[in-house]
Structure 1
Amino acid sequence: MSEMMGDLTLEDFPVENDGNKTFIQASAASATYNMTGLEEEDIRRLTLFLVPVAFGIILTVGLVGNILVIAVVATNPQMRNTTNLLILNLAVADLLFLIMCVPFTAVDYVLMSWPFGLVWCRTVQYLIYVTAYVSIYTLVLMAGDRFLAVVFPVSSLSIRTMQHAKVAIASTWVIIFLVSLPVWFSHNILSHNGVDFCQFDSLQHSYFGFHVGFFVTSFALPVVLILIMYIIMLSRLWASTTYRISKQGLKAKKRVTKLVFAVVIAFTVCWSPIQVVLVLKSLNNQDWDTQYNKIVIQIVSHVMAYTNSCLNPILYAMMSKNFRCGFCQVKK
């Protein structure tokens, strides 16, 4: 399979048929790991049926949901504020990921090889990392927007403008497009027994350095920043006696803050398993490529990370009356 988020799947050990016997060959170790027949069948069922079905559901729900989010924010002037502009940007990143990455990953799981060539291998990998970075740093911007609104409600009014939000969003995309260029060059088509796989080229680049760096910059650091902002924010928000604002205004701040926090929690829960897997694999890649339980964990973690791209519209519908009404209007 393709390398997909840094050796998330089984590309290093394609399943091959040897008469009636199936085995997984760990090319990196140049050794064969023989699983039981039941374990082999379980993995093939996962890659051939369950994962593509899961990806199909993620793609369908994500496309409909994120298109609705974009339509609601774009067509309703009353929805155009800094928070919703950032929500719009998050939906665009998720939509790009769903269209450009999910279908090819599903094909990759079914075929257990990469049939799309080098350019598309690098393009898909590049966009996976770009959209992951854009998503988490959009969440940082959303948390920062809430932080300013709650902790500095008056003095931040000149900062929390639509124009500044647009500049921040554009800068985020440009910076991430540029700093993610190493992802393009670090992936390659590697062949094993005549079968092509889209992989991280560990012969030319540091597997450990790449994935530890990704973990720190795309997960650990932004999540810590968000947590710090929320700790300060919640302490101020719930100490409502320090604010000279109406109860209705305080309620509105709490409602929006809860929504942003729910989106952050969803991202953290969905992405933390695969982030941990990547770090552990960078320390001991061979075990993760040959042990049945760890292969299954990788597959499940991969699906969880992809699931995040369809969750946000559901959270908006559950927690925001404005989005619920907007979704109903668009559907009419």
Structure 2
Amino acid sequence: MVSNATTATFSLPITTSAKVGISILILAFTLGFPGNLFVVWSVLCRVRKRSVTCLLVLNLALADAFVLLTAPIFLRYLAGGNGWEFGSAACKLVHYLSSVNMYVSIYLICLMSMDRWLAVTRPFLSQRMRTKRSLLVLLLGVWVIAFLLSLPMPFYRSNLRKVLPNNITLRFCVPYHWSSVGHRVFQYTFETVMGCLVPFFLINTCYSSIICRLQSAKFQRRGQGSRLILIIISAFTVFWLPYHIINTIEVILSGFWSISISISISSLLPQVIGLLQGSESTLAAARVARPNVTAFAYFSSAVNPILYVFAGSSHIRQAGLSFLGKLLEATNSESRSTSTFGRSGHTSSSRDDISMLQTLSVKLGKPFKSRQGDGDNKAARETDEPELKTLASVEPLE
């Protein structure tokens, strides 16, 4: 640690990269922390009937607000000019919490996408699964998975001491892989696969299935819930994709550097040296860019409340500060209408099939037993057709 006298007379100059990071963090904390608290207040105090999407948005806002509390620490680190002053434990903890926030955010978005997929493609199953108990289990599972997937982060962060000119000694909270290419490749590959490739594969699969389902059903209704989820997905992609691109560059070039160093064939030596020089400069540029893309990803925790304002702009004049509650309540009504669409489409086609088969069975002189359940029995009781009443009262055919 630096003595008080030294700290008073010396501080590191603030680089351009640090200034960019400071600007992003100030903006993120100023907009994001009160914005996410507003989302939490809206869900708890202004939404009467909370849908699955509404509760997932609540958890997302809680995670974002919690991680934004670490912003003042990073601001002091970047702007203070005295290195990392908070000790090794805090160095590991704040980066661990940031990693937890990344995994919680993306896997909550996965749950939103899967819920939308079930509501459109499996409406009956969706209604059975939409219980308070099952949702709490899923939410707990997301948080547990996020804490487990983030465990490598504190092992690859260290509060290292560095001796500067004039014998000034400062500490810096930086990535540390024990000079091992294997550890660096493992960490960044693990983050990109589990924090980007796997969840986005699930999201794309869900929405591809939804699009095919709606096109085949000629049902083009665009609901508030689907639009809100797509906005959240787009924002997460924009802010986290540069971070994962830097991860991928470091993984590829670190592995290439290691392989190239081991080549000792003299005839290939000039080519290898040229490739090494090119990859070394690109790798250095990626490492310089890492703090900035990390700060940019950090801003994703602040942007969601801003997006909710635009998504709920049609409710602002009418509802005022309760506009977000109206927007989230609309996701609940949309879920019911989506399930009603699934049931009504099934019932209508089934009723036509029953009428046709009933007519054929009369002509052939053979009895016909319906496979429909209680929903069609109710529809049959409400109709004035005596034949359909008779068919609906027959037990399902096994």
Q: 1:327 to 1:221 in 2, by over 3 A?
A: farther
**Residue 322 (structure 2) pairs with residue 329 (structure 1):** yes
Q: Distance in 2 between matches of 1:287 and 1:103?
A: 33
Residue type at the aligned position of 2:309: A
- 1:304 Cα deviation from its structure 2 partner: 2.2
How many aligned residue pairs are there?
279
User: Structure 2 matches for 1:194-213, cutoff 5 A?
Assistant: 194-203=169-178, 206-213=183-190
Q: Deviations over 1:161-180 (max 9, x none)?
A: 23321211112112322342
Residue type at the aligned position of 1:196: R
Q: Distance in 1 between matches of 2:293 and 2:47?
A: 39
**TM-score, normalised via structure 1 length:** 0.76
Q: Distance in 2 between matches of 1:135 and 1:326?
A: 28
Query: Match of 2:39?
Result: 69
Q: Is the 8 A contact 1:62 1:310 kept in 2?
A: yes
Query: Match of 2:251?
Result: 282
Structure with the larger helix share: 2
- 1:239 Cα deviation from its structure 2 partner: 4.0
Q: Is the 8 A contact 1:98 1:309 kept in 2?
A: yes
Q: 1:327 to 1:186 in 2, by over 3 A?
A: farther
- 1:128 Cα deviation from its structure 2 partner: 1.0
The match for 1:305 among 297, 305, 310 is 297
Residue type at the aligned position of 2:244: Q
Q: Is the 8 A contact 2:152 2:187 kept in 1?
A: no
Over aligned residues, Cα RMSD in angstroms? 2.7
**TM-score, normalised via structure 2 length:** 0.64
The match for 1:45 among 16, 30, 37 is 16
Q: Is the 8 A contact 2:188 2:247 kept in 1?
A: yes
Q: Is the 8 A contact 1:86 1:165 kept in 2?
A: no
Q: Distance in 2 between matches of 1:69 and 1:60?
A: 15
Q: Distance in 1 between matches of 2:94 and 2:319?
A: 33
Q: Distance in 2 between matches of 1:166 and 1:83?
A: 13
User: Could you say which structure has the larger radius of gyration?
Assistant: 2
The match for 1:273 among 233, 242, 246 is 242
Q: Is the 8 A contact 1:69 1:327 kept in 2?
A: no
Q: Deviations over 1:112-152 (max 9, x none)?
A: 72111011011011101111111110110111111111111
Query: Match of 1:119?
Result: 89
Residue type at the aligned position of 1:202: H
SS in structure 2 of the partner of residue 282 of structure 1: helix
SS in structure 2 of the partner of residue 78 of structure 1: coil
Q: Distance in 1 between matches of 2:91 and 2:224?
A: 42
**Greater RCO (CA < 8 Å, at least 6 residues apart):** 1
Q: Is the 8 A contact 2:315 2:323 kept in 1?
A: no
- 1:284 Cα deviation from its structure 2 partner: 3.6
Q: Distance in 1 between matches of 2:184 and 2:99?
A: 15
- 1:299 Cα deviation from its structure 2 partner: 4.4
User: Structure 2 matches for 1:161-310, cutoff 5 A?
Assistant: 161-193=131-163, 194-203=169-178, 206-241=183-218, 251=221, 254-284=223-253, 287=281, 290-291=284-285, 294=286, 297-310=289-302
- In structure 1, runs of 5+ residues without a counterpart are 1-21, 23-40, 244-249
Q: Distance in 1 between matches of 2:320 and 2:61?
A: 14
The share of aligned pairs that are identical, in percent, is 28
Query: Match of 1:158?
Result: 128
Q: Deviations over 1:278-323 (max 9, x none)?
A: 22123446536744xx566434422321221111112222113697
Q: Is the 8 A contact 1:126 1:181 kept in 2?
A: yes
- In structure 2, runs of 5+ residues without a counterpart are 1-11, 164-168, 255-279, 325-398
Q: 1:182 to 1:51 in 2, by over 3 A?
A: closer
Q: 1:93 to 1:201 in 2, by over 3 A?
A: same
Q: 1:61 to 1:327 in 2, by over 3 A?
A: farther
Q: Distance in 2 between matches of 1:327 and 1:131?
A: 30
Residue type at the aligned position of 1:64: P
